[in-house]
Amino acid sequence: MERGFQERVLALVARIPQGRVMTYGQLALLAGTPGAARQAGQVLNGLLGHTPLPWHRVINAQGRVSTHKIGFGDVQEGLLRAEGVAFDDSGRCDLDALQWWPDDAPERTLPPAPLL
């Protein structure tokens, strides 16, 4: 994985305001590598529990926490809830209301999330 990509992802994560979220795909797009959502996730996976960066503010394109499978889902949801992020009964938050785009973002739209 390109070091510059990692640095751009981390710089973006550092800017996410409290109570707002970004998606992995959005991070990849804004870091200059559209379609590299998994790689953005790998960058963050290396940080869990070892950084002051707000890694918990990054979720999947369906508005859900993706860290349950690695044992951090409850922690991530708890951190987000403490910031005022609400989840519905299916575990989704309202991306339309909570997704954050930097003011200097060149593009504010992503391709539609795949249907599950």
Q: State which residues of the chain have pLDDT below 70.
A: 1, 48-49, 106-116
pLDDT tens for residues 9-26? 999 999 999 999 999 999
45 CA to centre of own chain:
11
Q: Provide the pLDDT for residue 48.
A: 64
Beta pairing partners, 21: 99
Dihedral over Cα of 23, 11, 31, 43: its sign: negative
List the domains of the chain with CATH numbers.
Answer: 3-98 (1.10.10.10)
What pLDDT digit, counting tens, does each position of 96-111 carry?
999 999 988 765 655 5
Closest among 101, 97, 70, 65 to 81, alpha carbons compared: 65
User: What pLDDT is stored for residue 3 in this prediction?
Assistant: 83
The whole-angstrom separation of Cα 99 and Cα 26 is 10
